[in-house]
Structure formats: C-alpha cells, structure tokens
Structure 1
C-alpha cells in the first residue's frame, strides 16, 4: 500500500475527520467577521476609540495572511497532524485570552495570536479533508471544504449579533473553547501525517525569507485595511507601509528564488493551472468578501436595519451555496470542464449584482433580497470547487500543499482588496452624487419650495418656532439628498461588481487548462 492510499479513510473515521476539518475551517472563517457587530460594545467596555477598536479586525487579518503561505513548510517541519493540533490549541487559548482582555491593546495582541493559529486551520483543513477521500471522490471533498469557506463569512455577523444582544461580547470568543478542545482531541486521535522528510534544523530555516514575507504581506494588509480610514496616500503612515510592502515583496521574491531551502517555494507558480487558479482565487475572494461587506453596510446605513437583521438576511445565500456545493463537486468528478462551471458562476454572480442594482430603493424590504441573495449563493457555489480543483489539477506531491497555500492567501488578499476598493468608492462617490443632486435642489424650483414649506409647517405643528422650523427643514432636505446619494452609490457598487465578473467570462472561456489530475493525498501541509 502506498503512502497516499494509507491516508484514505472509510466509514466512521472519514466522517469524524471530515467533521473536524470543516468545523475548524468554519471556526477560522466565522471569527474573521463575528467581531464586526460587537465593535461598539468593545469600544464602550474597553474605553477605546473607533480607530483603536478597528485594530481588532486588522490584527487578525494581518496574522492570517502572514501564516497562510507558511503552512506547507510548517507542516513539513512539525508533521501535519501535530501542526494542525497545535494551531487549534493556539486559536483556542487565544480565544479565551481575547474574552478576558482588560484593555483594547491586550485584545488586539491576543487577536493577532488567534489569527496566527487560525490561518493554519483554514488551509491545512483543505488538505486533511481531501486526502481521506479516494481519488474518485475528491471533487466532493473540495465541495465539503468549500461549504465552510463560503458559508463562514455570512454566519459570523448574525451569530455575533445574537450573542452580543443576549449575552456580552466576550462570549463571541468563549464559544470557540469547547469546539477547540473537541477538535484538538479528534485531530490527535484520527488525523494522520504523511512523511516526506525534509525536516530542517533551526540553523537551516529560511529566517530571512520568513522575515521578508512578514514585512511584505503584513504591510500590504495594513495598507488595504487602513487606507480609506487615513485617506490613502495623503497619510504618511500609509505611504510608509506601501513602500515597505513593495520593498518586502521584491526582497521576498528575490530571497525565495535564490535560497537553497526556501520557506515558500515560488517556483511552483510556473505551473500554468496554478497561476490561472491563483488569479481566479483573487477574483473569488473579491466577490465573496466584497459582497458580504457591502450588503450589511447598505441595509444598516440606508434602510435602518439592525446588525442582527442584516446578518440573518445573508443566511439564505449560504444555504443556497451549501446546496450547490455537492452538485458542483459531482459535476467536476464526472469530467465537466472547470472553465465552463466558472464562466457560469461569473454569469450568475453578474445576475445577482444586476438584480441588486435594479431593486435598490428607500423602500427595499427583506422580501426583495431573498431570491436575489439565493442567486448570489448559487453563483458562489458554482465558483469555489472548480477554481480550487483547476488550481491544483496538475501539481504533484508537496507542490499541492504549496499551491493550496497560495490560493488561500490570494483569496484572502482578494477579499481585503475588494473591501478596501468598495469602501473607498462608497466614500468618494457619495460626495460626487451629493454634489450632483445639490445642483438640482434650488429654492427657485417650485417643487423644492413646496417640499420645504411642507416640512416647515410640519415642524411648526410639533412646537418649533418659524425660525427653527426653517433650519430643521433645510437639515431634513440635506438628509434626503444624502440618502439619495447613498442609494445611487450602492447602485453603482453592485453594477460595478457585476460588470467586473461579466468581463471575466470571455477570458475564462479562452483559457486552456494543462492536462493533469490532482492527487490531493500527496499534499504536504
């Protein structure tokens, strides 16, 4: 029996390993978004500013992006099972410490540690869940893993909102503890580690490459997370970290190409399918995290929904994705070309975006979003499995683990880029739309005058003096203009995302994947 065959499990063992891996992937992904709705409570409880408390999100994201490319190497160093189990322990202990933090910077530090443990859970679970399935069922294994990756971001906000409203914010971290303990015990009991050798002494470790990696992706993630908040390149800190990030990327690439035993094997990107899959993973991350970001922002800011309402609204989309995953996995197993499934996914996602563009009004309700978000879920379901299997389809042995790490990191960066781009666009487009609308609000326009007089009369009927009522009516008119400007901006955002995905379709259809069938059981991370 070959080593690859010895990793395949059947029956009860495979079920347990599958549940453990999906559970860990879900834990990591949910924790990227679960804190979003609790930031106000954290700020008040810890006496922090809004700028300070935003680091709770940023620190976790930076740690994630740093550790993901190193997962293949770290697994090789310590053994995949041991590394996975230790990562769960780090994540669980850090969750407990986050819940017990007494200051904002304590919380930020523990969130960074939590992110270092969590980054390994996401990527390593992908290999673990796939290698326990025989080759003919590995498309289905990718679908099961994909359910955690796609569903996780949408489960975070409603779960965080429910816990914060009914208990208190530390419990969004405490719920990780029992799950982490169970996952650790199951990992040590059931997960196996392949042995490819290659363990190095501390003196042989590519410390310089690791340092340049931290410098590059840490700086880049900081710029993407904080750029809009600090007005991008108008701020000296953003300029400094942008330059540091660019220098770090250059030095990291140089070091990994000349090092005898690089921490991250960049030469694997010579594989055509992985290069294409990496680009597609970036686009997938852009659409997944970008839309997950903009929908709650729109419903809360423009429609006045609570965070819990906005989060729950995304659940049907996750259900649709979960339903689609097994069907798409089966289609890949039957030999349907990934590029046709991906092109279909892009078209469906365009349909969702264009639908959103057409239904946005000040009176849009939950019923208007339900089927639209179901379409979004179908689109994401059509994308994840084909993108992942295409990226890894012609890699072998340890290259598969390295390729999976690349696609995981790039998907995360795609999400950060999408959120940064969308938030910047919303901020600046609001100003432009307001200026355009103000040009059409003139005191010489009889309709405007009639509206202002009506408002003034209403305020006076509620006890305001004539002078105060005039000021109130002008402020109310300004509020209406701003609300309309925001609606126009969100319409532009949805249409822009949709057109971006639609433009990708012809490029996907002309691609010719290299021949090769992935054997995920050979992955070494």
Structure 2
C-alpha cells in the first residue's frame, strides 16, 4: 500500500499542517554558511573569506545536483528514511563547519549540506503544493511559496547576525545542528513507514554525469570566488579551473545527448520560452549582484556593521509580501505575464536610481525604506514570474531532469558572475577616481597630520564615484532589459496569426498563377 502523504493516520489534520510548516521553516532557515557572519568566521578560523563564499556556492551546487535524483530516491526509499537521513546529514554538515579549520572540509560539508537540504525540501514541497493548489497549478503555488522562501532566507541571515553578537558564530551552527536532530527525532515518531510509490531498483544512475556536472560547477565557483584574489588569468589555477569547467560541461552535454535516461536533459533549452527565460534570469542575477555595490557603500562609507547591514533586509520584507499578493491576484485573473515581469525589473531599476541619487557620505538608515521596499518587490516578483514563464506548461517528468541547471544558473552562475565582474569593475573605477582626484592634492595640505584626514576624504570620494559609475552602467543595462521585455511576445499569438494569413495568401496566389499558366 502506498501513501503519498508524510504522517501517520493518528496525526490530526491541523497537526499535519503545523508539522509541515515546522519542517519547512527549519529546513529553509538552516544554511551551511551565513554570509552576514563571514567576517567573524574569517577572523576566527584564519581562512580567507573566499573559502566560505565558495562553501556557500557549494551548497547551491549541491542542491542543483540532487534535484534530478529526487524522484529516483523517492522510488527507492521511504519518505521517512529520506527525511531523517537528510536532516541528520544537514546537522552533521553544520556541526563540521563550526568545528573545523580546514577549508576543503568546509567546502565539502557545504556541498553535502546543500544536497541533503534539497532532498528534504522536495519531501515538504510536494505536499505543500497540493495543500495550496490541489490541482497542481503552479500559478497559485509560486506566489505563496517563493515570498515565503525569500522572507525566511532574510530572517535566517538577520537572526544569525544578531545572535552572533550574543554568542559566537560557532554556537549558532551547533544550535542549528541540535534543532535539526530534534526535528529528525520528531519525524521518527510522526512520519509513516509506507512507500511513496512502487519500489524501484536503485540502478542505471549516471554517476559519471553527476561527477562531470559537479566538477564543472565547482571549478567555475572557484574561478568566480578566487578570481580577484588570484589576479584572474595571471594565475595558472584560475586558467586551469576555467578550462576544466568548460571541458567537463562540454563532455556532459555530449554524453547526455545519447543517453536513454539522461541525468540532465538539455532538450528543454530548445524551447523559446526557456531561452528567453534564461536571458531574464541573467538580468535578474545582474540586479541581485548589485547588492554588493550597496554593501560597499554601507560598510566603507556609512560604517555600518554586519548587524545593521543584515537589518536592511527587514526593510525589503514588506515589498516581498506585496509582490506575492500582486502575483496571486495576477495569476488568479490569468493576466499576461509580460507587464508583471516588466513591473519587477522596473522596480529594480527604480531601486538603483533612488540609491544613485542617495549616495552621500552621511545618510540615516531611515532613508533606505523606499529603496529596500522596491528591492523586495522586484526580487519577489521576478522570482515568481520568470520561473513561471520559463517552466510554463512543462510536465514534471521533463522538468526535474533540467530544473537543476536552471536553478543553479539563477542562484549561482548569474549572480556570482556579475558579482565578480562588479568587484573587478569597482576596483578599477575606484583607482580611476583616485587618479582623477589626484590633481587636487596640495603639498601644503598633506604635510602634517591633517593629511590623514584628507587621504580619508579622497578615499571615500573615490568609493562614491566608483559606486555611482557602476550603478549608472547597471541602470542603463536595465533599461535595455525593459526594452527586450516590451518587444518580446511572451507567448502572444498576435504576430502568429498575421504570419499565418501572410503565408496563406502566398499559397493562394501561387495556386492561381498555376491555374492561369495551365489555361494558356
């Protein structure tokens, strides 16, 4: 007998709902690395910040690697076994990160943590989806699920940053491990022992393709995180890692084209909506990476610590909620996605425009309410709308082998790529600004102690100039993205009908000409 639920029959309906909510919150709040605490992790362990950033990306890569295997795992193991094993692996991973000072161990633990987190998330997401939308309508599910995921991610970072002031960052990970183990013990009691579907043998899994996919993405993550520190292609390690990433990805694409059961299906990327969706996801990654420019401003110019920086995320939560409500109403009335996507990118551009004119050496934190509201609305809107548009009308059996690549492109490749580009550009623009300001140096002003203050002022002016120049480039590119959205059809039949009538009239003319020639 099969049971596609999670809990035993004696658990009441309300209890099931609360347990699903508990599992969802615990799984989403847990992370291998909290980016707001990287500064403390570096000072405590002696490792470089790039190592922890690489471990953070490794968690995302682990999630994308696990997605194509989820249904195979569900057909082989019970939901109870998968959930308990995933929670225990997550607990072990976060405990190892808290207690080791070896960079390779931290990165490997982050990867395993991400893979286990995705398996546990799928176990919770499937029943949650059918609770929200019994028919499996993604248009009703995503407007509720994605704002919840983004808000919990923000709250997790804020909670970790605030608790790190009371206790060490290691204790946050140890407490997280303890909570995950307690939830695993609860699952032993309340989850049933029945299978999700008929038991399938655990064979014909393309382990080589899994290794190629992992190697390619982890090599790319090394390039994007250590590129600036290693002076980019001056370093042989960066060059070799990039070549390795390209070669293994090419081998993977070639290998999957001839497989009967491919690990990742690239056929999905031949569809027009998927190709356009990847362009929009690239633009989304650019805007998300623009947050690094804001962090430079708040840290270097305004002097905010990690706790205040994390609290800025609280200001974006109302915008995320508004984006979810607008999405729900939009999908309910079956309105075209075109203008909804346009509104999301428009909100991001307004967010950057407001910041462009706000960036001054002295600014109170209340001034961030409006831009962070726009930031939250844009992020929530685009996570929902672009994902629905990209994977629209794709069956679940075809989506799972490909969604891992789409997800890692959105959450890692696009964001990390633009983050690396912006970091390099900001460094170059800052030195260019210093050169431009050097003409105002005066030997008399720099001859005594006040010169230190003058150097400080020059440095802040250079940072502000570099920030504004970089934001200007992003805004101009964003206007180009808005133009692409306006001129893209987004599934509209308006021009298809015109093309059909045009070709039909051509066929009629040719047929009439043929008749005239036959008569002659």
TM-score class, shorter-chain normalisation, is 0.7 to 0.9
Q: Which residue of 2 aligns with 1:242?
A: 242
Rounded Cα–Cα distance in structure 2 between residues aligned with 1:494 and 1:140: 35
Q: Which residue of 1 aligns with 2:467?
A: 490
Seen in structure 2, the aligned counterparts of structure 1 residues 436 and 126 have a Cα distance that, compared at 3 Å, is: farther
Provide, for residues 38-69 of structure 1, a one-character-per-residue CA deviation record: whole Å limited to 9, x for no partner.
334334433x24x2x53123123124214414
Rounded Cα–Cα distance in structure 2 between residues aligned with 1:130 and 1:404: 17
Corresponding position: 1:311 with 2:310? yes
Corresponding position: 1:118 with 2:95? no
Q: Which residue of 1 aligns with 2:515?
A: none
Seen in structure 2, the aligned counterparts of structure 1 residues 77 and 153 have a Cα distance that, compared at 3 Å, is: closer
Contact 1:38/1:161 (<8 A) preserved: yes
Seen in structure 2, the aligned counterparts of structure 1 residues 55 and 322 have a Cα distance that, compared at 3 Å, is: same
Q: Which residue of 2 aligns with 1:89?
A: 88
> Greater relative contact order (Cα 8 A, min sep 6): structure 1 or 2?
1
* Structure 1 position 404, deviation (Å): 3.4
Seen in structure 2, the aligned counterparts of structure 1 residues 152 and 61 have a Cα distance that, compared at 3 Å, is: farther
Corresponding position: 1:62 with 2:58? yes
Rounded Cα–Cα distance in structure 2 between residues aligned with 1:435 and 1:27: 45
Q: Which residue of 1 aligns with 2:452?
A: 475
Q: Which residue of 1 aligns with 2:170?
A: 170
Q: Which residue of 2 aligns with 1:433?
A: 433
TM-score normalized by the length of structure 2: 0.82
Contact 1:25/1:125 (<8 A) preserved: no
Contact 1:130/1:141 (<8 A) preserved: yes
Corresponding position: 1:512 with 2:489? yes
Corresponding position: 1:23 with 2:25? yes
Contact 2:129/2:136 (<8 A) preserved: no
TM-score normalized by the length of structure 1: 0.81
**SS of equivalent to 2:395:** coil
Q: Which residue of 1 aligns with 2:500?
A: none
Rounded Cα–Cα distance in structure 1 between residues aligned with 2:292 and 2:194: 37
Rounded Cα–Cα distance in structure 2 between residues aligned with 1:141 and 1:279: 24
Corresponding position: 1:393 with 2:380? no
Seen in structure 2, the aligned counterparts of structure 1 residues 109 and 143 have a Cα distance that, compared at 3 Å, is: same
Rounded Cα–Cα distance in structure 2 between residues aligned with 1:190 and 1:87: 16
* Structure 1 position 428, deviation (Å): 1.6
Rounded Cα–Cα distance in structure 2 between residues aligned with 1:347 and 1:151: 21
Rounded Cα–Cα distance in structure 2 between residues aligned with 1:4 and 1:215: 34
Q: Which residue of 1 aligns with 2:98?
A: 99
* Structure 1 position 355, deviation (Å): 0.5
Contact 2:25/2:152 (<8 A) preserved: no
* Structure 1 position 344, deviation (Å): 1.0
The number of residues matched between the two structures is: 481
Seen in structure 2, the aligned counterparts of structure 1 residues 414 and 128 have a Cα distance that, compared at 3 Å, is: farther
Seen in structure 2, the aligned counterparts of structure 1 residues 425 and 218 have a Cα distance that, compared at 3 Å, is: same
Alignment RMSD (CA, Å): 3.3
Rounded Cα–Cα distance in structure 2 between residues aligned with 1:268 and 1:125: 26
Which of these two proteins has the greater Rg computed from alpha carbons?
Answer: 2
Rounded Cα–Cα distance in structure 1 between residues aligned with 2:405 and 2:427: 31
Provide, for residues 482-506 of structure 1, a one-character-per-residue CA deviation record: whole Å limited to 9, x for no partner.
1100011122233333333222122
Contact 1:127/1:401 (<8 A) preserved: no
Seen in structure 2, the aligned counterparts of structure 1 residues 12 and 402 have a Cα distance that, compared at 3 Å, is: farther
Rounded Cα–Cα distance in structure 2 between residues aligned with 1:124 and 1:490: 43
* Structure 1 position 416, deviation (Å): 1.3
Corresponding position: 1:338 with 2:301? no
Q: Which residue of 2 aligns with 1:522?
A: none
Seen in structure 2, the aligned counterparts of structure 1 residues 211 and 244 have a Cα distance that, compared at 3 Å, is: same
Could you tell which deviates more after superposition, 390-399 or 104-113? 104-113
Rounded Cα–Cα distance in structure 1 between residues aligned with 2:400 and 2:350: 34
Alignment of 1:445-460 (within 5 A): 452=445
* Structure 1 position 83, deviation (Å): 4.2
Contact 1:343/1:508 (<8 A) preserved: yes
Alignment of 1:343-382 (within 5 A): 343-382=342-381
Rounded Cα–Cα distance in structure 1 between residues aligned with 2:143 and 2:126: 13
* Structure 1 position 347, deviation (Å): 0.8
Contact 1:223/1:241 (<8 A) preserved: yes
Contact 2:82/2:120 (<8 A) preserved: no
* Structure 1 position 430, deviation (Å): 0.9
Unpaired runs of 5+ residues, structure 2, are 494-520
Seen in structure 2, the aligned counterparts of structure 1 residues 196 and 408 have a Cα distance that, compared at 3 Å, is: farther
Could you tell which deviates more after superposition, 494-503 or 121-130? 121-130
Seen in structure 2, the aligned counterparts of structure 1 residues 335 and 512 have a Cα distance that, compared at 3 Å, is: same
Rounded Cα–Cα distance in structure 2 between residues aligned with 1:343 and 1:129: 29
Unpaired runs of 5+ residues, structure 1, are 444-448, 457-469, 517-525
- Choose which of 496, 503, 519 in structure 1 pairs with 2:480: 503
Rounded Cα–Cα distance in structure 2 between residues aligned with 1:422 and 1:125: 37
Provide, for residues 203-258 of structure 1, a one-character-per-residue CA deviation record: whole Å limited to 9, x for no partner.
x2212211211221111111111111212111111001011111111111111111
Seen in structure 2, the aligned counterparts of structure 1 residues 143 and 186 have a Cα distance that, compared at 3 Å, is: farther
